[in-house]
Amino acid sequence: MPEFHSKLQSKELDELFEAILVLKTKEECYRFFEDICTINELQDLSQRLEVAKMLKEKKTYFEIAGKTGASTATISRVNRCLNYGADGYNLVLKRLYDKSST
């Protein structure tokens, strides 16, 4: 995979991502993210990941909105990222799928 250069890159974001990468367990993730994010921020992030998963499964916007409560604007944004974004959703979903297949 070619090296990726984000337009968002900054020293502060680099430090945040380094902090996330040192977490070793799901419990550590819960501890860190409960401290650093609001409940709504975490719910929004997890909702977007679920939307991405359902879009990859070829679910309709209607099905996705019904199951997740996501707005069509959110579903559309996630779909745009899946198709034209930085490939982050696809990377994570592939790794999660590969992990669950083993």
The pTM of the full predicted model, rounded to 2 decimals, is 0.90
* Residue 1's pLDDT band (cuts 50, 70, 90): low
CATH topology of domain 11-97: Trp Operon Repressor; Chain A (1.10.1270)
Domain spans of the chain?
Answer: 11-97
User: Tens digit of pLDDT for each residue in 15-69?
Assistant: 999 999 999 999 999 999 999 999 999 999 999 999 999 999 999 999 999 999 9
Please state, in angstroms and rounded to a whole number, the distance separating the CA atoms of residues 41 and 57.
Answer: 25
Tokens of 17: 């991502």
Please state, in angstroms and rounded to a whole number, the distance separating the CA atoms of residues 22 and 37.
Answer: 17
